[in-house]
Amino acid sequence: MSVNFKLKVKKVSGFCHYGFKEGQEIVLNGLHTPKEGFCGGAYHALFPYLNMLNFGGKLPSTDIINATCADGGKVIFEIKVEQGKEEVNIMNAEKRSGLEAYTEIKNTLIKIGIDEDNIKPESILSTDIDMDSTEVVELIIHIEKNFGLSFESCELKDYTISQLSEEICSRLGAQ
């Protein structure tokens, strides 16, 4: 599941080597750059925000991001999550089984960059998979969006993938 973003160039201070112009709008499908290309320096500056928003995070009080490109030109972007494009997939207990939960967790771990060979039911998240803090947060956000459940990062670290699947089903009341 990806989120679509609409970027709007709010201001260009100085010369932009890529050629961004004030008022220009760019649509991103998830974390993918447009087919017609995109400035690498701008993408590098925007990626942390896009990644956070892609996994359900929110910006503190404004959706305007100040980004400075690698070439030194300052371009101010407005980032908006396109309404109606994001599908929240919270399933109730009748539709959820342990195998479905395990499969969804496994697919999420692969999506966030965990080597599939390390993902086994008995794999402990903190030691066997060696997830970093960003990956743990991405998994927590996925669980919140798709299962409607909250976990703390310190809770997750000692779970095996199988135990996490069972805990999700238990909290949902699934058999």
Q: What is the pLDDT of residue 175?
A: 39
Quickly state the pLDDT bin for 92 (edges 50, 70, 90): very low
132-172 confidence digits (pLDDT tens):
888 888 888 888 888 788 888 888 878 888 898 888 888 77
Distances (CA, A) of 48 to 21, 40, 54: 23, 14, 10
Of the listed ranges 23-27, 31-35, 72-76, 88-92, the one predicted with least confidence: 88-92
Domains by residue range for the chain, with CATH: 4-82 (no CATH), 98-173 (1.10.1200.10)
Distance CA 124, CA 164 (A): 10
Q: Which burial class, exposed, middle or buried, applies to 66 when counting CB atoms under 10 A from its CB (0-12, 13-18, 19+)?
A: exposed
* The pLDDT of residue 23: 94
Tell me the whole-structure pTM to 2 decimals. 0.46
pLDDT of residue 10: 87
Q: What is the pLDDT of residues 99-119, one digit of tens each?
A: 788 888 888 899 888 888 889
